[in-house]
Structure 1
Amino acid sequence: MHALGIETSCDETSCAIVKGRKVVANFTVSSLRYHKRYGGIVPEIATRNHLKFIDKVSLLAIRKAKIDFKDIKVIGATYKPGLLGALLVGVNFAKALSLALGKPFLGINHLHAHLFSPFLDNRIPFPFPFIGLVASGGHTEIFLVKDFTQIKLLGRTTDDACGEAFDKVARAFGLGYPGGVYIDKIYSPDFKESFSFRCGRKGFNFSFSGVKTAVIYKKSELEKEKKIDRGTKIKILSSFQESVVKTLVEGIEEAATKLGIRNIVCGGGVVANRRLRELLKDLEKQKKFKIFLPSLAYTTDNAAMVAGLAFYLYNKRGKVSNFNLEVEAN
């Protein structure tokens, strides 16, 4: 059986079709180029682009999969969290498709879908229970996952998401958007401890607003003293990135250790960060955890993870949603 997934929580308009966990089609149109000039996502622009492309990516996915709409058994769409207008486009399109085809509709939690992403295009057994980390431009959360129907929030950022901190620091340094990509390219392990920056962490909760402010202030201070050049900027940004990714790793390590769980699953755009993936591999080797990461193609927002989770919840757990399901914004 095939599941169709729709993802429109932010700036990506995406539609995918999966069979089990095999991705047979995944098409995404991003409006990122329109947001770059503003240094962040403009909700109205994102929503207009979803309206323009949602039907087109759906048709492309059907053609790529070489099936007909009638062959779809369940239709899943992200209904939370995200931008209100953007979510409405995807969910209403999915509901209309479901009604027209007489197929069940299933609302999918975007964050839970990120935790499903490491299991796409493979047959790895689901490592329940596991500690889940979702790290992206809009979210930083730690979960306890006993099943994809039993997910408990353990901790989250109390202010900026880690990816948001990357974006704001990058903007202050005149880099592009999204900032994490540029800082990751600039990062040098030789300068990872050139400056002392610390992220906040209490229990399983994070705080990244303070480190963001400290980095921006340090740059301003050195500029006033005329002690900043390209090399100094690289040192500042490398130290900043090291602090952020180490804090993420420390958080999930503490959660796994305290709860006696050996499996860790990570998802979200920040999980594409090279240094973070390196530290996670080190953690797996040194502390004997089993860590599951998505392929780089599935770290960013995509409909394949939505379709995959919809397939699982419907086929394995018998879940469906009512048409009165409402979207839930951030």
Structure 2
Amino acid sequence: MPEPGRIVLGIETSCDETGVGLVRLMPDGSVRLLADAVASSVDQHARFGGVVPEIASRAHLEAMAPTARRALEQAGLELSDVDAVAVTAGPGLAGALMVGVAAAKAYAGALGVPLYGVNHLAGHVAVDTLEHGRLPARCLAMLVSGGHTQLLSVAGIADTITQVGSTIDDAAGEAYDKVARLLELPYPGGPPIDSMAREGDAHAIAFPRGLTGPRDARHDFSFSGLKTAVARWVEQARREEREVPVADVCASFQEAVADVLTAKAVRAAGDLDVDTLVISGGVAANSRLAALAADRCAAAGLTLRVPRPRLCTDNGAMIAALGAHVLASGAEPSPPNIPADPGLPVETVVLR
């Protein structure tokens, strides 16, 4: 006899990962992960030092059907078992989003099931429920990735998310990529910098902490000045024909990023009077960020929730999870002509 609950298929194509996930929405409202299949085109972008939209779109076209089949095989399901389809409608790269939205419309139409066009950023928050269960009634989420650095007040994962703060220039992950390129480390820059930093001295170089002065915005971020400071320090060392201590540069840069992120997140949690902080996005897998966040949350009496690294990066499971929560809320499905919206604001959790 099949297990009770509704099956939601999620599709994610906002950037360079083609993700297809499957979850089961249980009768009690909990969500169980069944499959998480991802095909990445990151290797095709590495030689350019960043994502090339046209390459990403073509890679999604080629990977979509095979990735969906792989997810169904992982879950031991047939396509006919799917009860609803959720897809990232934005934000993201326009062409990449269009591939996923078109595929989702085709699957939903062929199966005769509801379609939910959902927000990529909200998906990064919803994915935590696959690992740690339901979110509290109110919490703070910090989303840290290559394209986004945001503080979000979450009063309802299916419908009530408000931006509290954001980066005014580079995202944290973007700064990692640019510093890695400067130091001739591989792309994407997060993992190699994290690895090198373990061998370096985090206090060797006093890099600046952006927007941390008494008159600066309490909840906004800036990493452009930090990136520039690293570049000037390295260029000066090279002009003086000194060996660049790459491990120390990585450790000092990473300490500056983690220091600002965690300090501002803990401050915002206090300002909002919430007792839970969720950190997600690709940079959430960073070892120093995780350690410092754990220390500061413990000192402040906050519960810290961080999904495992596989779920922090872009994936279809997070979109399936968000779709399941939207379905459970009783929200009306999205219309069949939903667009791909590259600039979709986080406050719009689902397109209606």
Q: What TM-score does the superposition give when structure 1 sets the normalisation length?
A: 0.96
For 1:267-286, list aligned pairs within 5 A.
267-286=280-299
2:22 aligned with 1:22:
no
2:103 aligned with 1:56:
no
Question: Per-residue CA shift, 1:234-254, capped at 9, x if unaligned?
Answer: 112211110001111011111
Show the counterpart of 2:317: 304
Show the counterpart of 1:292: 305
1:6 is aligned, of 11, 27, 47, to 11
Q: In terms of mean alpha carbon deviation, does 43-52 or 15-24 score higher?
A: 15-24
Show the counterpart of 1:132: 141
SS at match of 1:205: coil
**Structure 2, gaps ≥5 residues long:** 1-5, 26-30, 212-216, 344-352
**Could you tell me whether the CA contact under 8 Å between 2:169 and 2:223 is conserved in 1?**
yes
Show the counterpart of 1:119: 129
Instruction: Measure, in 2, the Cα distance between the counterparts of 1:64 and 1:187.
Output: 36
Q: Structure 1 residues 255 and 319, CA, compared in 2 at 3 Å: closer, same or farther?
A: farther
Q: Structure 1 residues 189 and 203, CA, compared in 2 at 3 Å: closer, same or farther?
A: farther
Q: Structure 1 residues 121 and 19, CA, compared in 2 at 3 Å: closer, same or farther?
A: farther
Q: Which has the higher helix share?
A: 1
**Could you tell me whether the CA contact under 8 Å between 1:199 and 1:206 is conserved in 2?**
no
Show the counterpart of 1:218: 233
Q: In terms of mean alpha carbon deviation, does 315-324 or 214-223 score higher?
A: 315-324
Letter in 2 for 1:175: L
**Could you tell me whether the CA contact under 8 Å between 1:219 and 1:228 is conserved in 2?**
no
2:80 aligned with 1:70:
yes
RMSD (Å) for aligned C-alpha atoms: 1.3
Instruction: Measure, in 2, the Cα distance between the counterparts of 1:287 and 1:58.
Output: 43
Structure 1 residue 190: Cα displacement:
5.8
For 1:1-330, list aligned pairs within 5 A.
1-20=6-25, 21-122=31-132, 124-148=133-157, 149-188=159-198, 191-201=201-211, 202-229=217-244, 232-330=245-343
Question: Per-residue CA shift, 1:47-106, capped at 9, x if unaligned?
Answer: 001001101111222222222222211100001111100000001110111111111000
List structure 1 segments (4+ residues) > 3 angstroms apart after TM superposition: none
Show the counterpart of 2:350: none
Question: Per-residue CA shift, 1:183-232, capped at 9, x if unaligned?
Answer: 00011386111111123222211011110011011100011112224xx2
Q: In terms of mean alpha carbon deviation, does 320-329 or 158-167 score higher?
A: 320-329
Percent identity of equivalent pairs: 37
Letter in 2 for 1:304: A
